[in-house]
């Protein structure tokens, strides 16, 4: 097939096709006599793949790499791109919401410069919070040994004490019906989320680590895995019936945790449930008391582990949830591990 026919068939322009050729993504044969490009069936398949991936915004470089891989896992690339698009979508949402507020204030008369600047500043902070979280623990590198590592105990400090009890408690606390959607955020290798697949619910596992998601998918093919993070969940508004999370939220600072709760609230349906089992202190006084206790025991291992992460102040999370119309219950497993269970009131509409 010649270039004009290909362009017509694939509803694109000859210029676009030549561009992908220039970029080395396609290499049609050229007729010897006149150098006209000739496209075989496989060139057409390749070109239509390129056009489809460009349509959803995959960069040309990424498509090139994808096509080069002999065992290309297109699903993984699409998964990454979905996460990127959700981040862009949320950034636009934040901007539109701020713009609405600015319009409202501007309409109220003169002398609003300070107001507008304040709103712009809040927006800037929000944008940078959503963008700047990064994985300083390198979870990709931990993925393959993770299940083994949780069985091992530190010398003087075991963060996984009561791990199974906590996960079981989350499972028995959350109410799911067949057909419900359950989101496990920071799913890791799927130890919590997998326990809900038997209930007939659809389980979606979100994680920022592609390697964790790969291990999770291999262990539990029934879980839908999505690349994304607490601060930009790859889910549309009010789509899920329950959100669970274990041992993940403490990788966010206290302010980031509140934004994570806002994100959970965005995707959760009315009457939906949030159940988080994580490393946290009851409040700041309790944090000081526990750390002081470790100090007196000379337990530097415990103090180092706590300081390397961001164990929550449970009272701040409860406060946020209650202010946003959630009924909250808690359970404490040990001095550093708690569960928060929260139900969203029907009136809470976002």
Ligand X SMILES: C[S@@+](CC[C@H](N)C(=O)[O-])C[C@H]1O[C@@H](n2cnc3c(N)ncnc32)[C@H](O)[C@@H]1O
> Rule CB under 6 A: which residues touch ligand X?
133, 139, 185-188, 191-192, 207-209, 212, 229-230, 246-248, 251-252
For 153, the enclosing helix (H) or strand (E) is none
Comparing CB distances to ligand X, the nearer of 28 and 188 is: 188
Comparing CB distances to ligand X, the nearer of 53 and 248 is: 248
8 Å CB contact between 187 and 207? yes
Measured from the CB of residue 90, what is the shortest distance to ligand X in angstroms?
A: 14
Measured from the CB of residue 263, what is the shortest distance to ligand X in angstroms?
A: 10
Comparing CB distances to ligand X, the nearer of 47 and 201 is: 201
Comparing CB distances to ligand X, the nearer of 38 and 137 is: 137
Q: Which of 242, 200, 201 has its CA nearest to residue 343?
A: 242
Q: How many CB atoms lie within 10 A of CB 222?
A: 13
Measured from the CB of residue 98, what is the shortest distance to ligand X in angstroms?
A: 23
Comparing CB distances to ligand X, the nearer of 188 and 272 is: 188
Angle between helices 210-219 and 74-106 (to 10 degrees): 120
Comparing CB distances to ligand X, the nearer of 20 and 133 is: 133
Measured from the CB of residue 187, what is the shortest distance to ligand X in angstroms?
A: 6
Measured from the CB of residue 314, what is the shortest distance to ligand X in angstroms?
A: 18
Q: How many CB atoms lie within 10 A of CB 152?
A: 9
Residues 6 or more apart whose CB falls under 8 angstroms from that of 83 comprise: 226, 227, 228, 229, 232, 234
Comparing CB distances to ligand X, the nearer of 209 and 225 is: 209
Pairing status of strand 326-334 against strand 337-344: antiparallel
CA distance 91 to 266: 14
Q: Which residue is nearest to ligand X (CB)?
A: 188
Measured from the CB of residue 151, what is the shortest distance to ligand X in angstroms?
A: 12
Comparing CB distances to ligand X, the nearer of 309 and 325 is: 309
The partner residues of 226 in beta bridges, in order of sequence, read 206
Pairing status of strand 312-313 against strand 268-281: parallel
Q: Spell 233-258 as b/e; 16+ CB within 10 A means b.
A: bbbeeeebbbbbbbbbbbbbeeebbb
The torsion angles phi and psi of 191, rounded to 5 degrees, stand at -65, -30
Measured from the CB of residue 208, what is the shortest distance to ligand X in angstroms?
A: 4
Measured from the CB of residue 195, what is the shortest distance to ligand X in angstroms?
A: 11
Measured from the CB of residue 44, what is the shortest distance to ligand X in angstroms?
A: 39
Comparing CB distances to ligand X, the nearer of 133 and 294 is: 133
8 Å CB contact between 260 and 202? no
Residues 6 or more apart whose CB falls under 8 angstroms from that of 224 comprise: 202, 203, 204, 205
CA distance 279 to 195: 21
């Amino acid at each position: 097939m010649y270039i004009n026919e290909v362009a017509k068939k694939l509803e694109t322009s000859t210029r676009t096709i030549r561009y992908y050729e220039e970029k080395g993504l396609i290499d049609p044969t050229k007729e010897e006599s006149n150098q006209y490009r000739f496209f075989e069936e496989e060139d057409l398949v390749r070109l239509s793949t390129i056009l489809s991936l460009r349509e959803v915004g995959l960069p040309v470089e990424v498509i090139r790499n994808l096509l080069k891989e002999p065992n290309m896992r297109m699903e993984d690339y699409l998964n990454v791109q979905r996460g990127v698009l959700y981040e862009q979508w949320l950034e636009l949402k934040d901007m539109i919401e701020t713009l609405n507020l600015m319009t409202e204030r501007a309409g109220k008369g003169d002398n609003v410069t300070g107001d507008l600047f304040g709103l712009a500043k809040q927006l800037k902070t929000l944008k940078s919070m959503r963008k700047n979280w990064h994985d300083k623990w390198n979870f990709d590198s931990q993925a393959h040994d993770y299940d083994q590592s949780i069985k091992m105990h530190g010398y003087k400090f075991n963060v996984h004490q009561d791990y199974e009890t906590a996960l079981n408690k989350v499972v028995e606390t959350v109410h799911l019906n067949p057909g419900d959607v359950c989101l496990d955020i920071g799913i890791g290798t799927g130890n919590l989320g997998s326990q809900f697949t038997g209930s007939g619910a659809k389980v979606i596992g979100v994680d920022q680590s592609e390697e964790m998601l790969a291990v999770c998918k291999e262990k539990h093919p029934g879980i839908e895995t999505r690349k994304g993070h607490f601060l930009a969940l790859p889910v549309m508004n009010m789509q899920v019936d329950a959100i669970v999370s274990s041992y993940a939220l403490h990788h966010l600072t206290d302010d980031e945790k509140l934004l994570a709760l806002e994100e959970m609230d965005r995707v959760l349906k009315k009457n939906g449930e949030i159940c988080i089992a994580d490393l946290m202190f009851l409040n700041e006084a309790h944090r000081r008391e526990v750390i002081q206790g470790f100090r007196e025991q000379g337990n530097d291992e415990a103090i180092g582990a706590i300081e390397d992460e961001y164990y929550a102040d449970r009272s701040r999370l409860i406060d946020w949830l209650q202010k946003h119309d959630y009924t909250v219950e808690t359970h404490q497993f040990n001095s550093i591990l708690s569960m928060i269970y929260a139900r969203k009131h029907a009136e809470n509409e976002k």
